[in-house]
């Protein structure tokens, strides 16, 4: 039998029973959505459609529509790509790494964090996919498929190709992990629909639940599958952003050619991912009245992860500056001098303020247990992480070895439109998820209810 310390605060408050858990979570799927949901969905759809125009112009006229030039040939698109991929790190980190560390607080948040991961990776994938112009040919170019050029194979020495493998693997394994967890909950919704006589719902969720009946034998296998998937997904999460960082680190551009990039990028990814999870969960728990499941304790623990990863990122920024000076290489030194004091100084200092200073406020218990403060800082962190990628990418390129080719990057409305498009896509998907799928893993929450619920703690 599991024995839990009395000192630990309950993870589920409100004196919930097992049936209450099914009721509270499934009811959101069964009921008609609220007016707020409809309003949010309409706004997301409008955003998606407005952004789709930028996508259309990009595909029809080419990436000349963007603000890129001969000097800054990588800018807004790859910034957005790395930003979204980074956000997509929190979900699998929560469900895999926290599972291996037996952190029970992950159970209330893993479902929506994983959904966020999947949608964020889809948004990220939009940029490399759409920048190829002819998607249908591009897909053949990036995959090692026989072709009519020889066959001329893909370049396995290129980190960009490693990215293709890393991101597709990460996306598909995360999707499978997420779906495996959803199966028992779909079965709960199916059986509730059967009981209430809602035939269509019982049929749809019956199909989605794969005929799950909760047999002890199946549960035992399910536990093995979850554990092994967690073991596989843990190095996978770390590999994805490591490989993304190699897109830069394996080049010879000053400011990019840095060996600390892999750990620095992974910490940054977890940092931004947790910030986005906080932003979404604070809204979700409020709108769906899930305060008893996603408690202040959950938010506080996530804020602690933010302090840790934010501080790692801060140290990485300082290490970069130190190494630039210590290297004695004039080009390296200028790249950083220009980053801090050059024409993009405002981006650098926004990054420093948002990413290094703002999370330090969470050292105060009052701030990290305050919902409004957490919400504001989570958004600030996400803005800061966008600037981080912008600073790394654009400031390293815009003043290269030859002063006559120095240039500035100015985004066009199509750059902005592409970014807006991914926001529309992300929120449309997340809102659809929050309506049709159970937003909290009911089966896992039930499994800890007896030991960490409020009743046993009294």
Footprint (CB under 8 A) of other proteins, residues 6-45: 17-19, 22
Minimum Å gap between C-beta 245 and other proteins is: 12
Of 34 and 151, the one with the shorter C-beta distance to other proteins is: 151
- Distance in Å, CB of 390 to other proteins, minimum: 26
6 phi/psi in degrees, rounded to 5: -70, -20
76, 84, 162, 288: which one contacts other proteins (CB under 8 A)? Answer: 162
User: Using CB under 8 A, which of 123, 281, 446, 453 touches other proteins?
Assistant: 446
Please give the Cα distance from 399 to 307 (Å, whole number): 33
For other proteins, the binding residue among 77, 114, 191, 247 (CB under 8 A) is: 191
* Distance between CA atoms of residues 40 and 42, nearest Å: 5
Query: Within 425-444, which residues bind other proteins (CB under 8 A)?
Result: 442-444
CB 346 within 8 A of CB 296: no
Are 182 and 208 a contacting pair, CB within 8 Å? yes
Count other C-beta atoms under 10 Å from residue 51's C-beta. Answer: 22
Structure tokens at 449: 């209810």
At its nearest, how many Å lie between other proteins and the CB of residue 180?
7
CA distances in angstroms from 294 to 30, 290, 439, listed in the order given: 21, 6, 11
Q: Which is nearer to other proteins, 20 or 400 (CB)?
A: 20
Picking from 424, 319, 301, 408, the residue whose alpha carbon sits closest to that of residue 365 is 301
Which lies closer to other proteins via its Cβ, residue 62 or residue 235? 235
Which of 147, 323, 447, 457 touches other proteins (CB under 8 A)? 447
Q: How far is the CB of 388 from other proteins (least distance, A)?
A: 23
Judged by CB under 8 A, which stretch of 200-208, 310-318, 344-352, 393-401 contacts other proteins? 200-208
Residue 223 CB, nearest approach to other proteins (Å): 5
C-alpha count within 13 angstroms, C-beta hemisphere, residue 151: 10
- Least Å from the CB of residue 262 to other proteins: 11
| Contacts of other proteins in 102-161 (CB under 8 A) | 144, 150-157, 159, 161
Q: Which residues between 201 and 240 bind other proteins (CB under 8 A)?
A: 206-225, 228-229, 232-233, 235-236, 239
Tell me the closest approach of the beta carbon of residue 35 to other proteins, in angstroms.
29
Question: Of 166 and 278, which CB lies nearer to other proteins in the complex structure?
Answer: 166
CA atoms of 100 and 95, how far apart (whole Å): 9
Binding residue (CB under 8 A) for other proteins from 14, 41, 194, 353: 194
Q: Which is nearer to other proteins, 229 or 305 (CB)?
A: 229
Please, are residues 65 and 57 in contact by the beta-carbon 8 Å criterion? yes
User: Which residue's CB is nearer to other proteins, number 152 or number 330?
Assistant: 152
Q: How far is the CB of 242 from other proteins (least distance, A)?
A: 8
Alpha helices in 62-197 (DSSP H): 76-87, 90-92, 98-100, 110-131, 135-142, 159-196
Handedness of CA 172, 178, 179, 181 (dihedral sign): positive
The DSSP 8-state label assigned to residue 73 in this structure reads -
Give me the least distance between CB of 260 and other proteins, in Å please: 18
The one among 13, 69, 147, 169 contacting other proteins by CB under 8 A? 169
Q: Is 453 helix (H, G, I), strand (E, B) or coil?
A: strand
As measured in angstroms, the least distance from the Cβ of 149 to other proteins is: 10
Residue 430, classed as helix, strand or coil, is helix
Number of residues that bind other proteins (CB under 8 A): 71
Neighbours of 63 (CB within 10 A): 18
Q: How far apart are CA 300 and CA 369, in angstroms?
A: 6
Binding mask 63-92 for other proteins (x = CB under 8 A): ------------------------------
Q: Is the separation of the CB atoms in 172 and 229 below 8 Å? A: no
């Amino acid at each position: 039998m599991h024995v839990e310390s009395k000192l630990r605060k309950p993870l589920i408050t409100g004196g919930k029973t097992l049936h209450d858990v099914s009721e509270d979570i499934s009811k959101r799927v069964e009921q008609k959505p609220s007016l707020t949901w409809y309003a949010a969905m309409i706004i997301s759809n409008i955003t998606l459609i407005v952004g789709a125009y930028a996508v259309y112009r990009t595909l029809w006229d080419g990436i000349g529509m963007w603000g890129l030039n001969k000097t800054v040939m990588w800018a807004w698109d790859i910034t957005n790509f790395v930003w979204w991929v980074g956000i997509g790190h929190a979900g699998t980190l929560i469900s895999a790494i926290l599972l291996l560390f037996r952190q029970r607080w992950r159970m209330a948040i893993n479902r929506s964090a994983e959904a966020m991961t999947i949608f964020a990776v889809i948004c990220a994938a939009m940029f490399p996919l759409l920048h190829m112009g002819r998607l249908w040919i591009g897909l053949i170019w990036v995959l090692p498929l026989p072709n009519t050029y020889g066959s001329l194979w893909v370049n396995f020495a290129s980190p960009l190709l490693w990215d293709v493998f890393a991101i597709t693997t990460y996306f598909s394994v995360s999707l499978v992990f997420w779906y495996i967890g959803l199966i028992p909950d779909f079965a709960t919704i199916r059986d509730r629909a059967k009981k209430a006589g809602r035939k269509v719902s019982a049929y749809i969720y019956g199909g989605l639940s794969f005929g799950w009946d909760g047999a002890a034998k199946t549960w035992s296998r399910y536990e093995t599958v979850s554990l092994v998937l967690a073991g596989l997904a843990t190095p996978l999460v770390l590999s994805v952003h490591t490989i993304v960082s190699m897109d830069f680190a394996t080049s010879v551009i000053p400011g990019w050619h840095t060996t600390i990039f892999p750990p620095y990028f992974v910490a940054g990814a977890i940092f931004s991912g947790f910030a986005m999870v906080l932003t979404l969960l604070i809204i979700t728990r409020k709108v769906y009245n899930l305060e008893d499941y996603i408690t202040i304790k959950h938010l506080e623990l996530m804020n602690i992860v933010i302090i840790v990863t934010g501080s790692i990122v801060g140290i990485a920024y300082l290490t970069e500056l130190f190494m630039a000076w210590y290297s004695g290489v004039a080009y390296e030194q200028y790249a950083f001098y220009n980053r801090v004091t050059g024409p993009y100084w405002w981006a650098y200092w926004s990054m420093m303020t948002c990413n290094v200073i703002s999370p330090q406020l969470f050292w105060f218990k009052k701030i990290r247990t305050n919902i409004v403060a957490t919400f504001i800082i989570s958004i600030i962190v996400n803005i800061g992480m966008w600037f981080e990628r912008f600073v790394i990418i654009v400031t390293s390129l815009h003043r290269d070895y030859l002063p006559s080719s120095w240039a500035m990057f100015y985004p066009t409305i199509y750059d902005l439109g592409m970014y807006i498009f991914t926001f529309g896509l992300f929120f449309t998907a997340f809102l659809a998820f929050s309506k049709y799928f159970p937003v909290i893993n009911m089966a896992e929450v039930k499994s800890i209810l007896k030991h960490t619920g409020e009743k046993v703690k009294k």
